[in-house]
Amino acid sequence: MTKFYLSVCLPSTALGDLRAALDAVMAPFDISFPDGKWNPNGEWDWWHINGDDENGFVVRPEFDGDPRLIHEPTYPAGRPRARRALRCDGGPRGLLDFEATKARAVDEARARWQAEQQDFARLVADHPSAEPLSTFLERHRANSEGYPREQAVADHHAQPLVSALNHRSAWERYPNLGLWVLGPESDPISHFTRDVQPDLDQAASWALAPTALLTLDGQWIEADRPGPFTSVLPGEEPSAAYARQTTAYLDGLREDCVVVRLLCHC
C-alpha cells in the first residue's frame, strides 16, 4: 500500500458541487466495485483533496482569496489544516500560477544542487582527486581481455574519493551528498561534476506532474502508462516523457478548466 498525488482535470461546472464531480470521475478507479469485488482498473482505496506545501499550486497574486480557489480545511485524518497565502489545492487553471510553481521547483532544485556542490568541494579537499568511471572504461575498451570491465569498475571504486562515499561516515560529514552503495554502473565523480541544467529542466517539468493525471476525458495517465498523448523522444526516459507532456497538457488547458490535487492511497 502506498500514497501518491494525482492531478484531476474537471470542467468549469465542477465548482458547483466539487465533491460530487470528483466522486463521479474517481469512481471508475476505485479498487473495489460497489458489490465489493476487485476492480481490475482500480487505482485507489481512499483519496483526499490535499496539495501540501510540496505538491500544491501557486496562486496568481491578483486572485489570492478568490472563492473559486480550492482549499481543503483538514488533513486526511481530520486534523485542521491552515490556509496558506498564495497556495491552494486547485481551482480554475487561469487562477493558478503554473510558471511560479515551476520557478519554485527550479529554485529548490538549484538550492539542493548548490548544497551538494559545497559538500563535494569539501570532500575533494579532504581526499586525492579521482577519475570518472568513463576513464577506466576507455582503458577497458582499448584492452578488453587484458583489462576486464570488472577490474575497471573495481579500480574506479578503489579511489579514496569514491570509496569515501560508500561509508556512513562520509554521509555524516557531507550530509548533502547522500550515502552511495557502489555498483557496476556507479560513477559519483560524473554525478557530482554534471551540468546542473538538466536537473533544473526536470524540476520544472515535474513541478506540475505528480504521480498520476486524470484528464478531462477520463484517462488515468502515469509514467509507465503514458497514454495516447505521450510520445517518448529519442534518448528520453519514459518518466521524463510523462512529466514533459503532462506539463504540456496542463499548460494547454482552457483557463476555466478546474485542476485539483488529490492525495490518494492504494
Give the three cell numbers for residue 121. Answer: 568541494
Give the three cell numbers for residue 124. Answer: 575533494
User: What b/e sequence results for 65-100 when a residue is b if at least 16 CB atoms lie within 10 Å of its CB, and e otherwise?
Assistant: eeeebbbbeeeeeeeeeeeeeebbbbbbbebbbbeb
Q: How far is CA 252 from CA 22, 110, 223, in A?
A: 21, 27, 19
Whole-number pLDDT of residue 234:
87
Whole-number pLDDT of residue 226:
64
Q: What is the DSSP string of 24-55?
A: HHHGGGBSB-TTS-B-TT--BSEEEE---TTT
The domain locations on the chain are: 3-104+198-265, 133-192
* % of the chain at pLDDT higher than 90: 68
Instruction: Outline where 167-237 has alpha helix (H).
Output: 168-173, 188-192, 197-206
Instruction: Summarize pLDDT for 211-256 with one digit per residue, the tens.
Output: 899 999 999 998 877 677 767 888 888 888 899 889 999 999 999 9
pLDDT per residue, tens digit, the chain (266 aa), is: 689 999 999 999 999 999 999 999 999 999 988 877 888 989 999 999 986 666 679 999 999 999 999 999 988 888 998 888 899 999 999 999 999 989 988 999 999 999 999 999 999 999 999 999 999 999 999 999 999 999 999 999 999 999 999 888 888 889 999 878 899 999 999 999 999 999 999 899 888 888 899 999 999 998 877 677 767 888 888 888 899 889 999 999 999 999 999 999 98
Whole-number pLDDT of residue 236:
84
Whole-number pLDDT of residue 53:
64
Instruction: Summarize pLDDT for 192-203 with one digit per residue, the tens.
Output: 999 999 999 989
Looking from the CA of 186 toward its CB, the CA atoms found within 13 Å total: 19
Whole-number pLDDT of residue 81:
87
Whole-number pLDDT of residue 169:
81
